[in-house]
Structure 1
Amino acid sequence: MPKLRPPATRKTTGARLAAAFGAILALALVSACTAPGAIETDIDDRAEFVDTDDRLNVATTFTILADMARVVGGDRVQVESVTTPGADVHYYEPTAGDLRRVENADLVISNGLGLDDWLLRFIDGTGAQHLVTTDGIEPEPVRSGNSVGRANPHAWMSPTDGATYIRSIADALGEIDPAGAAYYTANADDYIAELEDLAERARASVATIPPERRVLVTCEGAFSYLARDLGLEELYLWPVNSENQGLPRQVTALIDEVRDRDVPALFCESTVSGDAMEQVATESDSRLAGLLYVDSLSAETGPVPTYLDLLDHDLDTITRELTS
């Protein structure tokens, strides 16, 4: 059973807004200094929650968690992601609309492990229960850079840990809405069965890759959990998006490693620039083979509109390109 964080003591609306705007301004100033490569997103014109029926209002910090909540919650919930498709959750700058969206939620779902701590700046004073989906997951440590030893936050990239996310969401919804508990559990069971089938197919595909080629080279070290599950060695330019991206020493070190290991294919993620990895590919006689998705789903008409689509796309791209 997940440990829901209880709602904080409610403040007056004026106090909440004042505190939130102060936090948002402070976060924007910090981001301007520390995240020069952050991806800009379109103006957010989404509607806020409207209490027109008995469904639970669920707010999540990013789109992958929103998709999980929609599948598990079905027609008993309405779900909104604070960040929009294509946004970089590492550098997100909350808005006043985000505050109102979270304020009107019955349940707020975040990842934890430092990924979406910006949420904590303005969740205080809301009446929402708070679920941290990585509670209970054994974190993989960051193994290089300024964040060495800290928890790598990308646990959802493991189908095994992804199942833990899904089960925690079902338990949390059932705790808030006991009448729907069996419904949420059944949805989670079906969802996890699909996830396990996908993972089994991925393991079979990796088994066809020659052992010396079982090396996954990406821009960001966001695949530690997936690499662990599949028996892949992970190499990358920078550990997490809070690090400097593509410094000359990082590029040079990776060029040498890729050349020495004769790695046939390199990859980069959808929310970051691939320029540095393109240089690695050119100078190591490898190739930048495909775009991977990690921190965000695409729009509904894009290549990865769901969590299962994201994992399926990434696994297919990785195994296809490493065996080609």
Structure 2
Amino acid sequence: MRKVRKVLLLVVIMVTSLIMVACGGVDRTTENSGELKVITSFSILADITKNVVGDRAEVDYLVPIGEEPHGYEPIPSDFQKASDSSVFYVNGLGLEEWLERLVANAGGGADIITVSDGIDVIGVEGSNEDDPHAWLDVENVITYVGNIRDDLSQRDPEGADEYAANADAYIKELQELDEWIQTETLNIPEEKRTIVISENAFKYFGEAYGYETIGIWELNSHEEGTPGQISRVVDLIQDESIPAVFLETTIDSRFMDTVSSNAGVEIAGEVYTDAVGPSGSGAETYIDMMKHNVNTFVEGLKQ
């Protein structure tokens, strides 16, 4: 099935390219108006970027809220977005390799900028891959903000002072968030600070704030939620008397439902890893998303 989807993706790329040529190329609005158009790979990066951009540029993203960016497959409108953009911000660390190919094939010539440059990377256990979920450590997001600010200032020197002021204000909010998370963590007894989720995406968060993290699997793979993986996690929960487990909003609940049932512990709530929350969720921004996650962890683990 994955091979079929890849073939279909290549067909879409070829057809889209032919349409662009037949129509005389892409309408580069940014070239006509001088206005920056920034595309990010997913919603979390878009929110972070908007806080730096302010009113000086349009910001959009490709992966819809509720879907995870690891295995997202683009639709035809994504090619137009990519081709119209001035710059494409990606997380990197192996998260969006196929999205980078999308931009390269869209014909717009947008620069691809990796905003995670400069962070201390955590590897994936049992592989040579990097864990891409660096944004779940607030200090890493401060690095993201600096990278975005610097790139925007080079592209739009007239806006450099505004980008710097926006970045400074947002960094202050992020520093306050970081301190708040550390304080809230104290509400959980140290021996209960273990986060069990489907994909082990909270390693950066755990290292930054003093939690052990356990996933049914590591990164998304072809072998997710196998009986052996589920049995291992159930045993760990029972051996360590872990009071609750959690479910990611972008991952099928069936695996964690099985763990919860077999281990005899409740799913204490949903947390956000790869996307901000939809409208009305109370987690529509990166900061609100992180606050939601921490509140969910505290309520579930302090029992």
TM-score greater than 0.5 by the shorter chain:
yes
Q: Aligned AA for 1:305?
A: E
Partner of 2:16: none
Q: Deviations over 1:210-232 (max 9, x none)?
A: 12101111111110100000011
Paired AA for residue 125 in structure 2? R
Within a 5 Å distance, the mapping from 1:148-167 to structure 2 comes to 148-167=127-146
For residue 297 of structure 1, report the CA deviation from its aligned partner. 1.6
1:140 aligns with 2:135: no
How far residue 254 of structure 1 moved from its aligned partner, in angstroms, is 0.4
Of residues 257-266 and 186-195 in structure 1, the stretch that sits farther from structure 2 once superposed is 186-195
Q: Any runs of at least 4 consecutive aligned residues in structure 1 with deviations exceeding 6 A, and if so which? A: none
Cα gap change, 1:81/1:90 in structure 2, threshold over 3 Å: closer, same or farther?
A: same
Q: Is the 8 A contact 1:23 1:121 kept in 2?
A: no
Q: Which of residues 274, 280, 291 in structure 2 aligns to 1:301?
A: 280
Q: Which moved more, 1:196-205 or 1:123-132?
A: 123-132
Q: Which stretches in structure 1 are left out of the alignment for 5+ residues? A: 1-20, 29-47
> Corresponding residue for 2:260?
281
- The offset of 1:22, in angstroms, is 6.9
Equivalent residues in 2 for 1:175-254 (5 A)? 175-254=154-233
Contact 1:85 1:299 in 2 (8 A): yes
Q: Which amino acid aligns with 1:130?
A: I
Q: Which residue of 77, 90, 94 corresponds with 1:97? A: 77
Q: Gaps (5+ residues) in structure 2?
A: 1-5, 14-26
Q: Return the alpha-carbon distance in structure 1 between the equivalents of residues 181 and 146 of structure 2.
A: 21
Deviation per CA, 1:290-320, whole angstroms, max 9, x where unpaired?
A: 1011111223333321111111111111122
Q: Structure 2: how far apart are the matches of 1:257 and 1:123?
A: 43
Q: Which residue of 2 aligns with 1:58?
A: 38
Match of 1:10 in 2: none
Pair 1:60–1:197, CA change in 2 (3 A): same
RMSD between aligned residues: 2.1
Find the partner of 1:123 among 88, 103, 106: 103
In 1, the alpha carbon distance for the partners of 2:34 and 2:113 equals: 21
What residue is the counterpart of 1:322 in the other structure? Answer: 301
Structure 1 residues 23 and 58 mapped into 2: Cα distance closer, same or farther (>3 Å)? Answer: farther
Counterpart of 1:294, as a letter, is: T
Q: Which whole-Å CA distance do the structure 1 matches of 2:260 and 2:278 have between them?
A: 29
Task: Kindly state the Cα deviation for residue 150 of structure 1 after the two structures are TM-superposed.
Answer: 1.4
Instruction: Note closer, same or farther for the CA distance 1:27–1:135 as it changes in structure 2 (3 Å cut).
Output: farther
Partner Cα separation in structure 1 for residue 12 and residue 146 of structure 2 = 32
Contact 1:49 1:101 in 2 (8 A): no
Letter in 2 for 1:84: P
SS of 1:61's equivalent in the other structure is strand
TM-score calculated relative to the size of structure 1: 0.82
Q: Which stretch of the first structure deviates more once superposed, 103-112 or 234-243?
A: 234-243
More off after superposition, 118-127 vs 247-256: 118-127
Find the counterpart in structure 1 of residue 3 from structure 2. none
Counterpart of 1:79, as a letter, is V
Listed one character per residue, the Cα deviations across residues 132-153 of structure 1 (whole Å, up to 9, x for unaligned) are 0112222111114xxx231000
Q: Give the total of aligned pairs.
A: 282
Quickly say closer, same or farther: Cα 1:22–1:248, change in 2 above 3 A: closer
Percent sequence identity over aligned pairs = 34
Using structure 2 for the length normalisation, give the TM-score: 0.87
